[in-house]
Every structure is written in structure tokens, then in C-alpha cells.
Amino acid sequence: MYDPKSPKADEFICHDEVMDTLAYAEDNKDDVALIDRILQKAALEKGLTHREASVLLACEMPDKLEAVYDLARKIKRNHYGNRIVLFAPLYLSNYCVNSCVYCPYHRRNKHIARKKLSQDAIAREATALQDMGHKRLAIEAGEDPVNNPIEYILESIQTIYGIKHKNGAIRRVNVNIAATTVENYVKLRDADIGTYILFQETYHKESYERLHPTGPKHDYAYHTEAMDRAMRAGIDDVGLGVLFGLERYRYETAALLMHAEHLEAVFGVGPHTISMPRIKRADDIDPGAFDNGIDDDTFAKLCAVIRVAVPYTGMIISTRESRAVRERLLALGITQVSGASRTSVGGYAVPESPSDNTEQFDVSDNRTLDEVVHWLMALGYIPSFCTACYRAGRTGDRFMAMVKSRQIENCCHPNALMTLKEYLLDYADADTRSLGDLLITRELKSIPSPTVREACEKHLAAIEDGQRDFRF
């Protein structure tokens, strides 16, 4: 039986409930009255249940879909303004004992080079990332208790936080490592990580077990219950994700939203972010070998439905996607993008040579960070390097309360402008800087509180004078 409060994976992601939901969605996808009621509820901007969202996802009536897109755009604007947060992944190690069928790091792959960054190499990578202008990283590693034990991850986080190069600093390290124990999550919390990110890959248990045939990741329950352990360990911000292409997207979406409902029911706070990766070509991996790939239109619809269903959850799109796809999804709900990413182990300080071959997957957006920043501004977005919330203790339910009360405009908006100003002065080329300065002047006016606006103006002047790291 579906029980969002149950600690058991099989109960909070109940297969029968997902199947019932999909059947219900199929039966009702042409029920205009029901869809209108769901749209009216969605217009309150407080979210939808997995069942309601599944009906919208199944619906194919063009006018109703247009209404979903309009709502997604509106919710995005109302909850997150025009800010887009930027980050970069840093791959620490591709040693891995698992055998994930879609991932080139799988243990049987003998033709990728195995590599693990030393602390000196990590310091060089953090310096190179700071020199690009990054302030927020997501560290990534394969699962290997011998080569990548938790102590290695903790030491790497400390190294990254410790590098202060010129005006640079990495102010938030998010962590994407394999499911682990409560004790290890406590250690990660104590190391001041930002979000703990773990993709479910697929919520369909049978497919999950087939796609992870051996290794610790084979254990569906241990993987699916990881966020419960992380939250019990005091990590407030967790990031969910599905690797789209592995299973039927409607199954995954219903289950992903059930996972969000579960976290909300048990911990009073839903996921901080949902990542939206689609499977990509990689060494030894052909995305065509997976039957459930989704085209760009379906992907856009999916993104809009998730935005409408969980208005308080940030949504992430990486450089797995092309500029064109990213551009389309930005308006429909995406709040964070990566920029200038390398999916090789290292590769920021010195680009990887072709013979090294440690990449996880091909990226489709190869632009520099400055090009990404310029592009976002030309589209009317404010690129944000803000990391203030978790540093000010606004995580978990405190962050959600801020989003829900719309205080975000007096907080995130000025923080975005100030961190953009830092970027413009320290790292941007002349074109990007002049475009950014115009944008900041214009956007200052939309800070609702006159007191905050005035303080922000003062901080911007101080940043111009060389001071750094102001925040609300």
C-alpha cells in the first residue's frame, strides 16, 4: 500500500500505486472538467499530487498543454524571478565498484583510464574554477570504498573550501556521491556541504536491479532510502533526480513526485532540487541501446509539469543538454545550470588529453562560463553566483518558508545582483561587463523593500571599491 510516511522504499514508492496512477492518468487524460480543476489548483502555485501531475503529463490537448506551459512560466517567475544559479561539477575520481549499465565508470570497462585526483590536484582544479568565476561546485565520484572512502571525500571538501585565490572562493560544495550510511552523512553535514545529491536513476525496482547488476548500488531499498538517512543525519537540502531514458518517463515522474511527497510528509520539507539528466553517449555506452529515450518536446512538457507540481523545488539542467534545449527549459522552470563543465576527472586546470579518456559522458554545451553568463543576460536572466542561503542557515524548512512567503525577492534578488557584480569585475570580458552593469542598474529597481534596495546599492558600491562577499 502507498504510504508516504513509511520508511520503506517499497511503500513510499509503491509500484502498484504508480501503476494505478498511470492507468488513472490514461483514463482521464481527455476529461476536460478534471483537467480544468487540476489547472485551477496548479494556479494556486502550491503544487500538485503525483496523480494530478500524471494526468497533466498524459494529457495531449493542445490548449490544456499551453495552459500548463503558461503556469510553469508564471510559477517560475513568481517563485524565482529571473535568476539562474550557476555551478560546475568537479569529478574527483572515476574508480567505481558498481556496474551501472548506462555509465562508463562501470567496473568492467577496461578502456577508460582510472584516475583519482590528489589533494594538490584538487587545489589546482579549485583554483582554475575560481579563475573562471565559479563559486559553487558539485563534487562527483564513483563508488569505491578503497579508492574513494568517505575520508577522501571529506578531505577533498576541506581542500576546496580552503583555497582562496585572488578574489575567488568556492563558497558552496554540493556532493553527488553514492548512497551511504547515516554516520557518513553526519560527517558530510559537519563538513558544511550544501546539497546532498543522489540520482535515483530509475524508480522501477525491476529495471533498477537489471541496470545495476552487481555492486553495492544493486540494493534498491538502500539506494532509495538514502535521502531519509541523509535527512535523519541533519542534511536539510537533498537533491533528487532520475536519469531519463532508462525507464518510461511517466512512471519515473509519478514516482519522483511520490518521493518528494514522502520527504515532505516525514521531514516537513521536500527536495531542495530535482535534476533533469537525460542519458548521453559515453565510452562503452550507446544511448540508442536504451528504449525509453525522450524527445525534446516531451522533455519540455515533463519539465513544465514538474515545475507546476513542485513549485518550491529548484530544478537543474546540466551541460548534457545543448544550448537550444537549455534555452527552452529555462523559461519552463529551470533554476540552476552548470557552465563550462568538464566531465573528466580534473580537466579544468589542464584540459584532458584524448588519450586520458576519463570523461563520464559527452557534454552538448561546450561554451565558456563567460559565454554562458553573457547568453543568460542577453535572454533577460540574471546569472547568480549566490551561495548565501545555506551559509546563513537558510536550509531545509527555513529555505522553503522563505520561498513560500515570497521573501526571496528581498534576499535572493539582491544577492544575485551582488554576486553578479563580483563576477563582472573579477572575471568577465568587456562586453559581458557592460551588459551586466546595465542589467544590474535595471534590476535594482525590482527589489521590493526600499531598505534592502538602499543597502544593496551601498554594497554594490563597496564591491566596486574592492570589497567582496556581502549577502542578505
Q: Interface mask (CB under 6 A) for ligand SAM, residues 285-304, using x and -?
A: x-------------------
Question: Shortest Cβ distance from residue 98 to ligand SAM (Å)?
Answer: 6
- Interface with ligand SAM includes 365 (CB under 6 A)? no
- Interface with ligand SAM includes 243 (CB under 6 A)? yes
- Whole-number Å distance between alpha carbons of 421 and 172: 18
- Interface with ligand SAM includes 226 (CB under 6 A)? no
Q: Which of 18, 25, 198, 310 binds ligand SAM (CB under 6 A)?
A: 198
- Interface with ligand SAM includes 178 (CB under 6 A)? yes
Q: Given the complex with ligand SAM, which of 48 and 153 has the nearer CB atom?
A: 153
Q: Which of 125, 144, 201, 236 binds ligand SAM (CB under 6 A)?
A: 201
Q: Given the complex with ligand SAM, which of 360 and 415 has the nearer CB atom?
A: 360
- Whole-number Å distance between alpha carbons of 360 and 138: 14
Q: Given the complex with ligand SAM, which of 188 and 386 has the nearer CB atom?
A: 188
Q: Given the complex with ligand SAM, which of 4 and 346 has the nearer CB atom?
A: 346
Q: Are 81 and 409 in contact (CB under 8 A)?
A: yes
Q: Interface mask (CB under 6 A) for ligand SAM, residues 88-107, using x and -?
A: --------------xx----
Q: Which of 69, 220, 348, 361 binds ligand SAM (CB under 6 A)?
A: 361
3-state SS track over the chain: CCCCCCCCHHHHCCHHHHHHHHHHHHHHCCCHHHHHHHHHHHHCCCCCCHHHHHHHHHCCCHHHHHHHHHHHHHHHHHHHCCEEEEEEEEEEECCCCCCCCCCCCCCCCCCCCCCECCHHHHHHHHHHHHHHCCCEEEEEECCCCCCCCHHHHHHHHHHHHHCCCCCCCCCEEEEECCCCCHHHHHHHHHCCCCCEECCCECCCHHHHHHHCCCCHHHCHHHHHCHHHHHHHCCCCCEEEEECECCCCHHHHHHHHHHHHHHHHHHHCCCCCEEECCECCCECCECHHHCCCCCCHHHHHHHHHHHHHHCCCCEEEECCCCCHHHHHHHHHCCCCEEECCCCCCECCCCCCCCCCCCCCCCCCCCCCCHHHHHHHHHHCCCEEECCCHHHHCCCCHHHHHHHHHCCHHHHCHHHHHHHHHHHHHHHCCCHHHHHHHHHHHHHHHCCCCCHHHHHHHHHHHHHHHCCCCCCCC
- Interface with ligand SAM includes 277 (CB under 6 A)? yes
**Residues between 113 and 172 with contacts to ligand SAM, criterion CB under 6 A:** 140, 142-143
- Interface with ligand SAM includes 416 (CB under 6 A)? no
Q: Which of 58, 279, 308, 331 binds ligand SAM (CB under 6 A)?
A: 279
- Whole-number Å distance between alpha carbons of 291 and 245: 7
Question: Shortest Cβ distance from residue 128 to ligand SAM (Å)?
Answer: 20
What angle do the packed helices 62-80 and 32-43 form, to 10 degrees?
10
- Interface with ligand SAM includes 347 (CB under 6 A)? no
Q: Given the complex with ligand SAM, which of 216 and 234 has the nearer CB atom?
A: 216
Question: Shortest Cβ distance from residue 362 to ligand SAM (Å)?
Answer: 8
Question: Shortest Cβ distance from residue 171 to ligand SAM (Å)?
Answer: 22
- Interface with ligand SAM includes 311 (CB under 6 A)? no
- Interface with ligand SAM includes 204 (CB under 6 A)? no
Q: Given the complex with ligand SAM, which of 93 and 419 has the nearer CB atom?
A: 93
Question: Shortest Cβ distance from residue 312 to ligand SAM (Å)?
Answer: 23
- Interface with ligand SAM includes 229 (CB under 6 A)? no
Q: Which of 24, 161, 199, 267 binds ligand SAM (CB under 6 A)?
A: 199
Question: Shortest Cβ distance from residue 472 to ligand SAM (Å)?
Answer: 32
- Interface with ligand SAM includes 315 (CB under 6 A)? no
- Whole-number Å distance between alpha carbons of 170 and 392: 16
Q: Are 432 and 399 in contact (CB under 8 A)?
A: no
- Interface with ligand SAM includes 271 (CB under 6 A)? no
Instruction: Name the one range near ligand SAM by CB under 6 A: 23-31, 174-182, 294-302, 392-400.
Output: 174-182
Binding site for ligand SAM (CB under 6 A): 102-103, 140, 142-143, 176-178, 198-199, 201, 217, 243, 277, 279-280, 282, 285, 320, 360-361
